[in-house]
Chains A and B, each alone.
Chain A
Amino acid sequence: MSLLLPTLLLVPVIGAAACLLVPVRLARWVALATAAVELILALPLAGAAFGGGVVAWAPAGWIVEGLNAGVRLGCDGVSWWLILLTAFLQPLAVLGSFAGIKQREKSYYFWLTALVTPMVGTFLARDGLLFYVFFELTLVPMFFLIGIWGGEERRFAARKFFLFTFVGGVFTLAAVLYLGVAGGSFAFEAMTLQGQSIANPTLKVLLFVALFTGLAVKTPLFPVHTWLPLAHTVAPTAGSVILAGVLLKLGTYGILVLAIPMGLLSDVALPGVEGDGLLPVMRDTVIPAVALLCIIGIIYGALVAWVQQDVKKLVAYSSVSHLGFCVLGLIALNTIGLQGGVFYMISHGISTGALFLLVGMIYDRYHTRMFKDYGGLGKVMPIFSFFMVLFTMSSIGLPGTNGFVSEFLTILGGFTSPYLGPWYGAFAAIGVILGAVYMLYMVARLIFGPLKLPEVHASGTHAFDEPSEAHGASGHTHALPDGLPRDLNAREIGLLTPLAIVVIVLGIVPTPLLDSILPDVQRYGRPIVPQLIEEQPSEGSSGGRRPGSPRSIGLQPSN
């Protein structure tokens, strides 16, 4: 079982290499097959989430001597869900590229497949340096995906994306280095113990800020979010899906496993630290400050999204707003908030990924994303409209969809957190209202109203157009020049259906997910010492955790 972990990292590398070696026409299928294999391989690890405990793989020969850093992999519940999200979105991203990518296909599928390894690697890493290695490695494929296959301003967007994340990342590296060196090992446990043993408040705050900087840029939080709208808008559809769906989660996941346990929490044995494991400065200043940034991001992101003229930009800014909720839940530091934050990562990946796919689908047809060019699509594209409304509802947080669960839990976390309180919850709730406003505005402009369709570009302007693929081009009378029918074709419907199912399923039965991540978030969200004392007896007696309802978990916040 543990050998699955390195396999998960190797498969995309092999697949990516294969993409370069096969004939152009087969590259996309190789990429798809690789993604499918990755998904299948990720499934057996479910045990890590459902009671099987952490699956670990750390061979002795792969540790760099002296530094005591190297390949230490492990998969717990949170990792597994995020890996599953990655493996689930990857085939959809590949499928979603079939219509849009017409030039340099081999290298496109190479980079798209090669991106999986560092993403999965980040979730699997149980070594601080290895985490950083994978975290930074995601930049290279994304840099090329945006820079070569992006839209207008792609070169600028690619460099801005790279530089922002890299600049933030180096500060995270400095903090990781310090923890690893001072703790004698880069294993997460050693780093966490070292981080929690620091009594000097100045050093502790510096450490947290350094750790948090790189992760906040990646997330992105309010003042350092400016790379995101540009990169998302410019990236090719699959790039946006992966960027929003998975890459942003590297930041929030890092906050959960690095910034909170190593930077924020302290050993309760230290002077001035109470049972919750927080230094007074953390409790009084740092947590509220981070939460404030989240709130500003939530509201600011929503307001800016509201005034966008470009559909994709609107979705991009909505991510800024949504990730604010996610971090707010995490930083609330109570069980419900942490669970909500993790749930938000999954749920945002699904619904925003789907929205980017939808935007990509109309862009493939009409080569424009401006609101002014569209109107009343519901009349000619009923299937498209169905999915659009569904995912919009999920993004707004309509009860019955995954968005509701995640938004509710994170806001509740903010409300009940002993460090934040009702005001934070209330202001976050304003973000929900604004979210409904701009998302419904988008739907109203696109789907309803009088029919308006943009002029279709002549196919000859695209120098790299290939003979159109077979997808249902014959049966439709309204076929567009690129071989796409007016409404969604079978490939596109097949692409969106799984996402739609997940949206509904997670919205109605969120309990398995919430229960499976419960022990993990409690481990990350509490200082190590009391956790050892409290959990050991309960592990023995509980014998197969009974999943409770989310409500019952909600009634015992901030354990």
Chain B
Amino acid sequence: MELFTILLPEILLIATALVLFLFGVSKSPVGRQVVPWVALAGLALSMIAAWAQAGSAGEGRLDWSGAVLINGFTDYVRFLAGGIGVFFVLLSWPTNRERTGNIALGFGADAGEFFGLILLSLAGIMLVGSANDTILLFMAIELASIPTYVLVAMSRPLPAAQEAGVKYFYLGAMSAAVMLLGFAYLYGITGTTNLIETGQVLSGARPGIGYEGPSDPVLRPTTWHMLGIVFVILGFAFKLAAVPLHFYAGDVYAGAATPITALLSFVPKASGIVATVKVLLVVGGNGFALPPDTWKLLYAIAVLSMFFGNSLALLTDNLKRVMAYSSIAHSGYMLVALTVMAAGAAYRPVDEAGVVRGGAVLVTGGAWGPQAIGGVLFYLVAYGIMNIGVFGVLMMLPNRARVTDADGNVRRLPATSAETYADIAGAGRRYPWLAVAMTICCISLIGIPLTVGFLGKLYILWPAVSLAGDSAVTRSGQVAMWWLVGLTVLNAAIGAAYYLRIIAAMVLQPSQEEDDAEAEGRVYAPPPAPRQPLPFVVATTLSVVGVIVLGVLPPAINVLNSRTEEAREALIRSRQLSLPVATPMRSVTPAE
């Protein structure tokens, strides 16, 4: 029964999703009209449940099996998923007459399934935040991912969307296998699937089965330990669309309908980041000390992701691909903070008395690890908000591409909004407000001050700079960190080039019509902008307001900061929890 109480927000979302699946049988537009409202109501109920629970967990609440752990971190993830989730429901709102989709989206008669899947995906992120067991964690990540495979395929009646769905599914299945393999290795060396127990076994605080490695697992981890970590990180890299598992991003993002692209750039990423933070905190053991080389792996992934993402985005003309590649780069930025967290924790094994053990000490103190976790959590919010604004604007701009069907009629592509630079060229004249929104969101993505994107970058760089300047760090460690800082700021600058191109296309460049008019010597007066559906306007406005409020007003920033701080402290504290009840997995005692 307690499990039911502490997982109430997730359960409410899943229940709403099931109700929505029932709506799927309704064939009338009226039924489809009700669906998004039901989805919103489900989200609201879930948020109310999460809010009622928030903070009550104190030091954390475990269920009877120890597989679910609710604490401040869980609260943060729940609000993050629910809050950003509202935007996806708004952007997917069926606004056409038959309620089969909107200008950028066409799910046919399947509105119930469509919104149900969105809610399932969000429930998946929330579960990642509360999972305390590798098996539940794996299921939660897949609960966040599997609905997105379906959503991609059903989002547009176009071959490209189906192709994207299939491609995404196969690669996703492969990466899930890799991740599972990593979890299996971790189980193999510790004899437990419980995350807290895994950490305690690895730090030597608790005996585990089958673990016969060296006396100091942190400084000299076994091969299996390292393999486990590598596989887990690679599995997560797929969810993050980080190099080397980023290949699907371009095709999948471009194939999906624009609102689903927005969802893709947030949901899997959020689940991946949350899971990475969770697992990294655990696999090193209770001294928050990761095996020495973990941070090097993360370092490489972060730097390559930034460079690949930003360079590919520079070379592309399709805006959805640009956003796909830019999302790879943003994963890179978040991984920079995770690298700092891992590096700050590396080589810092501390025993119960607080004495630093081992000879190869890189860091003797400093709060950079926790700071980095706070930075990542902040960045997730920032990225979610500013990214949605861009997709919201893209949705409301028309596509120029025309196709000739079998009968020789020239038609618009169904359920397709602006996709290329040519589509948005000069749109600022006809849609000034959309241009304002796009400019603000792009400026935030660049990281110009007075936007949330600037603060996000700041909180990512802050721990890295602190670590680089920490005199307790070895010289090579300092050099590595300075390079990381340098490469990150360099990438922020590369990124500026294509975001500026978006702004320039929309605001500075003349549109095709304007050019034609000028060629004919006419004065170009843009036709009045069409009335945009309210849900899109609300979503985009909220995102723009969020970008500015969280970037300008210190009180708002301080509130968000205190939330991230609470979340990270809860997460770090949770590693010291003693499990009250023996889990079934741990029933085998270690050999004498």
User: A: which residues have CB within 8 A of B?
Assistant: 61-67, 70, 129, 132-134, 136-137, 139-140, 143-144, 147-148, 154-155, 158-159, 162-163, 166-167, 170-171, 173-174, 177-178, 181-182, 206, 463
- Cross-chain pairs A/B with CB under 8 angstroms, 29 sampled: A63-B554, A64-B558, A66-B565, A67-B458, A134-B449, A137-B449, A140-B448, A144-B508, A148-B507, A148-B508, A155-B508, A159-B501, A162-B500, A163-B493, A166-B448, A166-B496, A167-B490, A170-B493, A171-B486, A171-B489, A174-B489, A177-B462, A177-B465, A178-B465, A178-B468, A178-B469, A181-B466, A182-B469, A463-B523
B53 at the interface (CB under 8 A from A): no
- Closest residue of chain A to B505 (Cβ to Cβ) is A155
B557 at the interface (CB under 8 A from A): yes
| B446 and A155 contacting across the interface, CB-CB below 8 Å | no
B 25-52 binary contact with A (CB < 8 Å = 1; else 0): 0000000000000000000000000000
Chain B residues with Cβ under 8 A from A134's Cβ? 449
Q: How far is the CB of A417 from chain B (nearest CB, A)?
A: 31
| B507 and A144 contacting across the interface, CB-CB below 8 Å | yes
| A170 and B489 contacting across the interface, CB-CB below 8 Å | yes
B541 at the interface (CB under 8 A from A): no
With contact pairs A64-B554, A140-B443, A163-B497 given, residues A170 and B490 touching in the complex (Cβ less than 8 Å): yes
With contact pairs A66-B561, A154-B508, A162-B500 given, residues A170 and B492 touching in the complex (Cβ less than 8 Å): yes
Chain A residues with Cβ under 8 A from B443's Cβ? 140
| A158 and B508 contacting across the interface, CB-CB below 8 Å | yes
- Cα(A173)–Cα(B457), bound, Å: 11
- Cα(A173)–Cα(B460), bound, Å: 13
The listed residue (B449, B501, B565) touching A136 by CB distance below 8 A is B449
Chain A residues with Cβ under 8 A from B523's Cβ? 463
With contact pairs A140-B448, A182-B466, A463-B523 given, residues A163 and B496 touching in the complex (Cβ less than 8 Å): yes
Chain A residues with Cβ under 8 A from B496's Cβ? 162-163, 166-167
B542 at the interface (CB under 8 A from A): no
Chain B residues with Cβ under 8 A from A143's Cβ? 500, 503
- Cα(A171)–Cα(B486), bound, Å: 7
B485 at the interface (CB under 8 A from A): yes
B 191-231 binary contact with A (CB < 8 Å = 1; else 0): 00000000000000000000000000000000000000000
Chain B residues with Cβ under 8 A from A67's Cβ? 458, 462
Q: How far is the CB of B8 from chain A (nearest CB, A)?
A: 33
Q: How far is the CB of B432 from chain A (nearest CB, A)?
A: 9
| B465 and A181 contacting across the interface, CB-CB below 8 Å | yes
Q: How far is the CB of A186 from chain B (nearest CB, A)?
A: 11
- Cα(A136)–Cα(B443), bound, Å: 11
Chain A residues with Cβ under 8 A from B458's Cβ? 67, 129, 177
Q: How far is the CB of A443 from chain B (nearest CB, A)?
A: 35
The listed residue (B454, B461, B509, B561) touching A174 by CB distance below 8 A is B461
Chain B residues with Cβ under 8 A from A158's Cβ? 504, 508
- Cα(A143)–Cα(B518), bound, Å: 24
Chain A residues with Cβ under 8 A from B555's Cβ? 61
The listed residue (A65, A136, A170, A177) touching B561 by CB distance below 8 A is A65
Q: How far is the CB of B433 from chain A (nearest CB, A)?
A: 12
| B450 and A166 contacting across the interface, CB-CB below 8 Å | no
- Cα(A206)–Cα(B508), bound, Å: 38
Contacting residues of chain B (536-556) with chain A, CB-CB under 8 angstroms: 554-555
B247 at the interface (CB under 8 A from A): no
Chain B residues with Cβ under 8 A from A162's Cβ? 496, 500
- Cα(A147)–Cα(B558), bound, Å: 36
Q: How far is the CB of A392 from chain B (nearest CB, A)?
A: 34
New A-B contacts (16) at CB < 8 Å, excluding given A67-B462, A170-B492, A174-B485: A63-B554, A64-B558, A65-B558, A136-B449, A137-B448, A143-B500, A147-B504, A147-B507, A159-B497, A163-B497, A163-B500, A166-B448, A170-B489, A177-B458, A177-B462, A181-B469
With contact pairs A64-B557, A66-B561, A167-B493 given, residues A174 and B508 touching in the complex (Cβ less than 8 Å): no
| A61 and B462 contacting across the interface, CB-CB below 8 Å | no
With contact pairs A177-B462, A178-B465, A182-B466 given, residues A166 and B493 touching in the complex (Cβ less than 8 Å): yes
Q: How far is the CB of A435 from chain B (nearest CB, A)?
A: 34
Chain B residues with Cβ under 8 A from A136's Cβ? 448-449
| A181 and B558 contacting across the interface, CB-CB below 8 Å | no
The listed residue (B449, B492, B561) touching A133 by CB distance below 8 A is B449
Chain B residues with Cβ under 8 A from A64's Cβ? 554, 557-558, 561
- Cα(A463)–Cα(B507), bound, Å: 19
| B554 and A62 contacting across the interface, CB-CB below 8 Å | yes
Q: How far is the CB of B521 from chain A (nearest CB, A)?
A: 8
| B446 and A166 contacting across the interface, CB-CB below 8 Å | yes
B138 at the interface (CB under 8 A from A): no
Chain A residues with Cβ under 8 A from B554's Cβ? 61-64, 70
- Cα(A162)–Cα(B493), bound, Å: 10
- Closest residue of chain A to B463 (Cβ to Cβ) is A181
Q: How far is the CB of A118 from chain B (nearest CB, A)?
A: 9
- Closest residue of chain A to B493 (Cβ to Cβ) is A167
B79 at the interface (CB under 8 A from A): no
- Cα(A181)–Cα(B368), bound, Å: 11
B421 at the interface (CB under 8 A from A): no
| B500 and A159 contacting across the interface, CB-CB below 8 Å | yes
- Cα(A182)–Cα(B368), bound, Å: 12
Chain B residues with Cβ under 8 A from A148's Cβ? 507-508
- Cα(A211)–Cα(B508), bound, Å: 32
| A155 and B486 contacting across the interface, CB-CB below 8 Å | no
B482 at the interface (CB under 8 A from A): yes
Contacting residues of chain B (475-509) with chain A, CB-CB under 8 angstroms: 482, 485-486, 489-490, 492-493, 496-497, 500-501, 503-504, 507-509
- Cα(A389)–Cα(B449), bound, Å: 42
- Closest residue of chain A to B467 (Cβ to Cβ) is A181
Chain A residues with Cβ under 8 A from B497's Cβ? 159, 163
Chain B residues with Cβ under 8 A from A139's Cβ? 448
Q: How far is the CB of B584 from chain A (nearest CB, A)?
A: 43
Chain B residues with Cβ under 8 A from A159's Cβ? 497, 500-501, 504
- Closest residue of chain A to B443 (Cβ to Cβ) is A140
Chain A residues with Cβ under 8 A from B461's Cβ? 173-174, 177
- Closest residue of chain B to A155 (Cβ to Cβ) is B508
Chain A residues with Cβ under 8 A from B468's Cβ? 178
- Cα(A87)–Cα(B448), bound, Å: 25
- Cα(A158)–Cα(B557), bound, Å: 32
With contact pairs A62-B554, A178-B465 given, residues A147 and B508 touching in the complex (Cβ less than 8 Å): yes
- Cα(A64)–Cα(B462), bound, Å: 14
Q: How far is the CB of B90 from chain A (nearest CB, A)?
A: 28
Q: How far is the CB of A380 from chain B (nearest CB, A)?
A: 32
- Closest residue of chain A to B454 (Cβ to Cβ) is A133
With contact pairs A133-B449, A147-B507, A148-B507 given, residues A174 and B465 touching in the complex (Cβ less than 8 Å): yes
Q: How far is the CB of A145 from chain B (nearest CB, A)?
A: 11
- Cα(A137)–Cα(B447), bound, Å: 11
| B450 and A133 contacting across the interface, CB-CB below 8 Å | yes
- Cα(A310)–Cα(B96), bound, Å: 56
Chain A residues with Cβ under 8 A from B501's Cβ? 159
Chain B residues with Cβ under 8 A from A62's Cβ? 554
What 8 A-B pairs come out closest when comparing CB atoms?
A133-B449, A170-B489, A167-B493, A147-B508, A177-B465, A182-B469, A178-B465, A181-B466
Q: How far is the CB of A174 from chain B (nearest CB, A)?
A: 5
Chain A residues with Cβ under 8 A from B507's Cβ? 144, 147-148
Q: How far is the CB of B524 from chain A (nearest CB, A)?
A: 8
- Cα(A61)–Cα(B554), bound, Å: 8
- Closest residue of chain A to B510 (Cβ to Cβ) is A155
Q: How far is the CB of A258 from chain B (nearest CB, A)?
A: 16
- Closest residue of chain B to A460 (Cβ to Cβ) is B521
- Closest residue of chain B to A129 (Cβ to Cβ) is B458
Q: How far is the CB of A247 from chain B (nearest CB, A)?
A: 16
- Closest residue of chain B to A169 (Cβ to Cβ) is B493
Chain A residues with Cβ under 8 A from B500's Cβ? 143, 159, 162-163
- Cα(A219)–Cα(B490), bound, Å: 20
- Cα(A156)–Cα(B561), bound, Å: 39
- Closest residue of chain B to A118 (Cβ to Cβ) is B449
Chain B residues with Cβ under 8 A from A147's Cβ? 504, 507-508
Q: How far is the CB of B485 from chain A (nearest CB, A)?
A: 5
